[in-house]
Amino acid sequence: MDRFVSRVAIIGAGPSGLSALRAFSQAEKTGVKVPEIVCFEKQTDWGGMWNYNWRTGVDEFGEPVHSSMYRHLWSNAPKECLEYADYSFDQHFQKPIPSFLPREMIRDYIVGRACASTLKKYVCFNSVVKHVEFDDDRKHFTLRFHNLVTGKSRSENFDYIIVAVGHFSIPNVPSFDGIDSFPGRILHSHDFRDARQFTGQNILVVGGALSAEDIALQTYKFGAKSVTISYRTKPFGYDWPPEIEELPLLTHIDERTVHFKDGSKRTIDSIILCTGYKHHFPFLTEDLQLQTENCLYPDQLFKGIFFQRQPRLAYLGMQKFYYSLPFFDAQAWYLRDVILGRIVLPEEEDRASDIRLWRERVKQLSGPSEGIDFQVDYARQLLDVTDYPKVNLLAAAAMFKLGRVHKQENILEFRDKLFTSPFTGTPSVANTVRWIDAKEDGIL
Amino acid sequence: MDRFVSRVAIIGAGPSGLSALRAFSQAEKTGVKVPEIVCFEKQTDWGGMWNYNWRTGVDEFGEPVHSSMYRHLWSNAPKECLEYADYSFDQHFQKPIPSFLPREMIRDYIVGRACASTLKKYVCFNSVVKHVEFDDDRKHFTLRFHNLVTGKSRSENFDYIIVAVGHFSIPNVPSFDGIDSFPGRILHSHDFRDARQFTGQNILVVGGALSAEDIALQTYKFGAKSVTISYRTKPFGYDWPPEIEELPLLTHIDERTVHFKDGSKRTIDSIILCTGYKHHFPFLTEDLQLQTENCLYPDQLFKGIFFQRQPRLAYLGMQKFYYSLPFFDAQAWYLRDVILGRIVLPEEEDRASDIRLWRERVKQLSGPSEGIDFQVDYARQLLDVTDYPKVNLLAAAAMFKLGRVHKQENILEFRDKLFTSPFTGTPSVANTVRWIDAKEDGIL
């Protein structure tokens, strides 16, 4: 770093932005001088994707709605894999709770740690970043943001930009032959809000990853007449209940009839496209935009964080993740230490070699189990060089994998399983009802 | 105009942008030197609001979907009120047709005239304008646009900017007490695509203007079990069929139960918010943004076109309109003549007085009938000073008013009425089925 970083912008106060704020706050508590930090959050509150919003499409300010959150969402991995090393579930909830939690409890935990660190003073809410460019002459970034409530825009200069906007907000919405002729409702999972809107219907869920899996379960749970999952590469292969089936990719749509690659056809009421999301950074000049699909190691990001062409631009949380909250901490603590000058980035060529090495490793991975191990290795090399409290990564990996085994055994009951926190030794306790019967949407 | 205008940007190739292009093209045909014109259209094709798009929310490029168009939409005024004075229905359709047309035929007519003028050479498609500012030193506008297909951005300079982006794309979405608890589908009319999605349902339509009126009719026509229209100021008062009722504004929502101001309550399956749209110009610097509600004469627009603080910035089609296509022509031809130097704008103070006068007149209007007369007067003073072919404005006004009378008489049959073109004298012919029975969505 060629000069002291005095002013840092964080774009987004969701989980990864909050991890960054926490990292700096923790350093400051030890008496270390930290840069001035401004976090720009376009929503009214922090929490990012964990903020449920009944609105879909564009919001009351004409901005694309950030939220893809829906009612009745529960975590899809044990909470014990998501525990912050410096803020335990015991510390937050003050009592034993189940391993699988509804969305509000996860949000509560994430913002609970933020509140404990009094991080709100760093955050400008209702402030959407509109344009960021690097001034080559003055060697700083100019960031223009817009206050959605006052309608006023302003520009400020920063030495360092941290992009923490997530990558599950801008839907990837492919077209299909004949989709124009379909009279029923078509929506992307981004706009899915409540499975009760599909009770009694014959649903088509298009996709093969976590959104498709969970939305199929949700709509089934809340009484869809039938759920057809149409996969592109391979089926989930779970032992689904009779109402849920898997077919290969649809080939074309003819009014209410959907035709599939294996010759099947179904009469469908609504189509839910669980076809993923885009990494999308329209507020950055093109030369600063990360271009990537959803993967374990995006190109052009040294240590999965530092933008190769402009290392004063960092991206947090841009990976496909098995392993989330402490993973964001691992990145945030490392990033903080680079900014503070504790860790020095290598030269550009060495950074490029390192990126290549990690991406080569990704190509060798044979499936999710190896993906989990990879992500744990990735987190370990970040954690090893910072003062983040010790994380039992092997235990985390084991719990992720066991969670996946439970899914394969029984897709309707995996969320009833119990785990124990590697940090506190506290075992989880069973919920009063099984997940499949839990129809309320709130704190347990 | 203090110097020759050599380069003009038109933002939007919908009806008003196409009117502007047509105006310049017609002048050029007479041998007049016109400026270089570049029209930026973010969609793949021209037609603006008349382009149906099955997508809702954000599109495949992460941009807010422009379209509010839905299947089975028919015009709500006789086509004879919408006839271009320089391109008749006879000329386009080559045969007598009904007075009320489905959306595809209106689009066909609008783009038909554009094709007849070979206007495509002026248009950059898939090009969304991201930022426009005025350079005070160099006295020109800098416009940055983004090609959605290539992903590349570019900046260009213009002497003149014409904003023709419409004002029916960014929904105005109020919140209501308890809306968060409603389990069913909530959508703004902007995202309404097909009434068949509501067959058999108890629908709540919130609103008191044209969207509410038509969406209530559409959902009824396609078999909604019941339609409750909740109005804010006053009911439509039509002789609705038994399935459609009008209640005052909702006060609060409690799960599926909606409560109204008069103490009624209803059990609702889906809520369609027909609560209007915003004028929204985020691509302009704040000092250039028109701030207005939907009204007959927005403040700060001289002649309803020229932005008071920056008269080289023009807005087309920003009014509430009874009277549309030829109205856009009236504005476009006048605007063109100002740009060509044929019409000279008065000084700023005189412009301000004129705006005040027209806005005073609006305050005196007592209802839609006087509103129609006002809009006709407004169009007349523009048309009187250009070479636009003669328009029988009184006939247009009379037909609008008669259309409204027909609505009051029978809201289900007003679209079966027949009118005669004041331009060509051609009477319309009846469709083969009545509107209420016409379930196809295409060219008649």
What DSSP string describes B191-224?
G---GGGGTT-EEEEE-SSHHHHHHHHHHHHTT-
Q: What is the ipTM of this complex?
A: 0.94
Q: Is A224 exposed, middle or buried (0-12, 13-18, 19+ CB in 10 A)?
A: buried
Q: Residue B439 CA to chain centroid, in angstroms?
A: 24
What distance, in Å, lies between the first and last C-alpha atoms of chain A? 47
**Computed from CA positions of residues A77, A83, A89, A92, in that sequence, does the dihedral angle turn out positive or negative?**
negative
How does pLDDT run across A395-441, given as a tens digit for each residue?
Answer: 999 999 999 999 999 999 999 999 999 999 999 999 999 999 999 99
Q: Which runs of consecutive H residues, i.e. helices, occur in A55-143? A: 89-93, 103-116
- Residue of chain B nearest A197, judged by CA positions: B184
Q: How far apart are CA B11 and CA A310, in angstroms?
A: 33
* Statement: residue B98 has pLDDT above 50: yes
Structure confidence at residue B2 (pLDDT) = 52
Structure confidence at residue B4 (pLDDT) = 72
| Domain regions of chain A by residue span | 7-170+277-400, 179-273
pLDDT band at B323; cut points 50, 70, 90: confident
Using a CB-CB cut-off of 8 Å, the residues of chain A touching B148 are none
What does pLDDT average to over chain A?
Answer: 96
Structure confidence at residue B324 (pLDDT) = 86
Q: Which runs of consecutive H residues, i.e. helices, occur in B57-172? A: 89-93, 103-116
Answer for the pair A250, A142: CB distance below 8 angstroms, yes or no. no
Q: How far apart are CA B16 and CA B316, in angstroms?
A: 6
How does pLDDT run across A166-198, given as a tens digit for each residue?
Answer: 999 999 999 999 999 999 999 999 999 999 999
Name the residue type at position B434. Answer: R
- Map tokens 């409690």 to a residue: B254
**Computed from CA positions of residues A83, A86, A92, A95, in that sequence, does the dihedral angle turn out positive or negative?**
positive
How does pLDDT run across B107-119, given as a tens digit for each residue?
Answer: 999 999 999 998 9
**B90 to chain A, minimum CA–CA distance in Å?**
30
pLDDT band at A371; cut points 50, 70, 90: very high
* Statement: residue A346 has pLDDT above 60: yes
Query: Do B62 and A278 make contact, defined as CB atoms within 8 angstroms?
Result: yes
User: What's the longest Cα–Cα distance across chain A?
Assistant: 68
Structure confidence at residue A3 (pLDDT) = 59
Q: How far apart are CA A118 and CA A22, in angstroms?
A: 9
* Statement: residue B334 has pLDDT above 50: yes
Which pair of structure tokens corresponds to residue B79? 């086509």
Query: Do B191 and A56 make contact, defined as CB atoms within 8 angstroms?
Result: yes
Q: How far apart are CA A326 and CA A376, in angstroms?
A: 11
> How is residue A272 annotated by DSSP?
E
3-state SS, residue A424: coil
* Statement: residue B35 has pLDDT above 50: yes
**A200 φ/ψ sector (left φ>0, alpha ψ -120 to 50, else beta):** left
**CA-to-CA dists, residue A349 to A77, A128, A160, A362, B238, angstroms:** 38, 35, 21, 20, 74
How does pLDDT run across B307-322, given as a tens digit for each residue?
Answer: 999 999 999 999 998 8
b (16+ CB within 10 A) / e for A321-338? ebbbbbbbbbbbbbbbbb
Structure confidence at residue A5 (pLDDT) = 84
- Map tokens 């008003």 to a residue: B16
* Statement: residue A90 has pLDDT above 90: yes
Q: How far apart are CA A164 and CA A332, in angstroms?
A: 10
Query: Do A182 and B54 make contact, defined as CB atoms within 8 angstroms?
Result: yes
Using a CB-CB cut-off of 8 Å, the residues of chain B touching A71 are 183
Per-state percent for chain B, helix, strand, coil, to nearest 5: 30, 20, 45
Query: Do A186 and B280 make contact, defined as CB atoms within 8 angstroms?
Result: no
Q: How far apart are CA A414 and CA A398, in angstroms?
A: 15
How does pLDDT run across B279-306, given as a tens digit for each residue?
Answer: 999 999 999 999 999 999 999 999 999 9
* Statement: residue B48 has pLDDT above 50: yes
Using a CB-CB cut-off of 8 Å, the residues of chain A touching B131 are 131
How many CB pairs lie under 8 A apart between chains A and B? 97
Q: How far apart are CA B101 and CA B64, in angstroms?
A: 28
Q: Average pLDDT in the B350-365 region?
A: 98
3-state SS, residue A303: coil
Structure confidence at residue B83 (pLDDT) = 96
Q: DSSP string spanning A197-238?
A: GGTT-EEEEE-SSHHHHHHHHHHHHTT-SEEEEEESS-----
b (16+ CB within 10 A) / e for B227-266? bbbbbeeeebebebeebbbbbbebbebeeeebbbeeeeeb
- Residue of chain A nearest B185, judged by CA positions: A197
The pTM (predicted TM-score) of the whole model is 0.96
Give the DSSP H or E segment for A121.
none
3-state SS, residue A407: helix
**A438 to chain B, minimum CA–CA distance in Å?**
16
pLDDT band at B65; cut points 50, 70, 90: very high
pLDDT band at A1; cut points 50, 70, 90: very low
Would the CATH topology of B7-170+277-400 be identical to that of B179-273? yes
Q: How many CB atoms lie under 10 A from the CB of residue A237?
A: 10
Q: How far apart are CA B190 and CA A273, in angstroms?
A: 20
3-state SS, residue B267: strand
Q: Which fold has domain A7-170+277-400?
A: FAD/NAD(P)-binding domain (3.50.50)
Q: How far apart are CA B426 and CA B367, in angstroms?
A: 31
Nearest to A127 by CA among A185, A28, A61: A61
Query: Do B286 and A153 make contact, defined as CB atoms within 8 angstroms?
Result: yes
Answer for the pair A265, A202: CB distance below 8 angstroms, yes or no. no
Structure confidence at residue A2 (pLDDT) = 52
**CA-to-CA dists, residue A15 to A24, A92, A161, angstroms:** 15, 16, 17
* Statement: residue B1 has pLDDT above 70: no
Using a CB-CB cut-off of 8 Å, the residues of chain A touching B146 are 282
**B378 to chain A, minimum CA–CA distance in Å?**
31
How does pLDDT run across A354-368, given as a tens digit for each residue?
Answer: 999 999 999 999 999
Residues of B with CB under 8 A from a CB of A: 54-60, 62, 64-65, 71, 130-131, 146, 151-153, 170-175, 179-180, 182-188, 190-191, 193-194, 196-197, 270, 278, 280, 282, 285-286
Question: What architecture is domain A179-273?
Answer: 3-Layer(bba) Sandwich (3.50)
Q: Which runs of consecutive H residues, i.e. helices, occur in B243-367? A: 325-339, 348-364
Residues of A with CB under 8 A from a CB of B: 54-60, 62, 64-65, 71, 130-131, 146, 151-153, 170-175, 179-180, 182-188, 190-191, 193-194, 196-197, 270, 278, 280, 282, 285-286
* β-sheet bridge partners, residue B57: none
How does pLDDT run across B230-252, given as a tens digit for each residue?
Answer: 999 999 999 999 999 999 999 99
